[in-house]
Structure formats: structure tokens, C-alpha cells
Amino acid sequence: MGAIQAQILDELGYDPDDGRPQLHELRPVAVGEVVAARDGARAVAVARLGSGRLVVVADVCPHDGGRISDGYVEGERLVCTRHGWELEPCEGRCVRARRG
Ligand code: FES
């Protein structure tokens, strides 16, 4: 990593070339789709749930830090593929879904 790149990373708090678009740059998200994005420095997952509701959550699984954007949508839930937890979006984060 060069000195300029290190300075940018230090000032922004993230790598602007990491492939995550900012929220305002995101194309429309289809029902059942989840994509990686960025809200400023914050890595987020953007998903369109089965009902059509659009959610934006921190891209960190509450189980063990997996990337929620690597998972998939199942109805009104997100599924983290790392260990298979079913998650419910709640106030910008995900919580483990209750069974039943
Ligand atoms: S890190 Fe997501 S289920 Fe384990």
C-alpha cells in the first residue's frame, strides 16, 4: 500500500476502492436480492425482502461477524451463509430470528 492510499484510508476510515457503492450510487434492488454497499464509512447490506420492503443493515452478522451481504433473502428474513443463522432486520442491524 502506497503512502497516498494509506492517507486516504486513514482520513476516510475505509478503502473507497473496495467495490462497495455508496447508497446513493446503488442501482435498484430486486425483491429477494441482497447487495453490499456503503453508507459513508459504514459497510451495509441492502436487501429487498419478500414483501418488497427495502432494508439497510450493518453488514455484520450478530453471530460471528459474517457478511450479511454474502447471504440471501428468505421471505422477510435474511440468512447468513456463514453458519446459517436466520436474521431479522431491526433498526439498522440484524438480530437472530426467533424460531416458530
Ligand atoms: S457469522 Fe453469521 S451465522 Fe455465523
User: pLDDT tens across 57-88, in order?
Assistant: 999 999 999 999 999 999 999 999 999 999 99
pLDDT value at position 99? 79
Residue 100 has pLDDT above 80, yes or no: no
Ligand 1 pocket member 67 (CB < 6 A): no
Protein residue with its CA nearest to atom 4 in ligand 1: 83
| Phi-psi region at 32: left, alpha or beta (left = phi > 0; alpha = psi -120 to 50) | left
For the chain, what are the domain ranges? 19-96
pLDDT above 90: percentage of residues in the chain: 78
Q: Which atom of ligand 1 is nearest to the CA of 68?
A: 2
Choose the CATH number for 19-96 among 3.40.50.1370, 2.40.160.20, 1.10.10.10, 2.102.10.10: 2.102.10.10
Q: Does residue 50 surpass a pLDDT of 80? A: yes
Could you give the 3-state DSSP secondary structure of residue 35? strand
Pocket of ligand 1 contains residue 80 by CB under 6 Å: yes
Mean of the per-residue pLDDT values of the chain:
93
Rounded to two decimals, the pTM is 0.89
CA of 93 to the centre of ligand 1 (A): 14
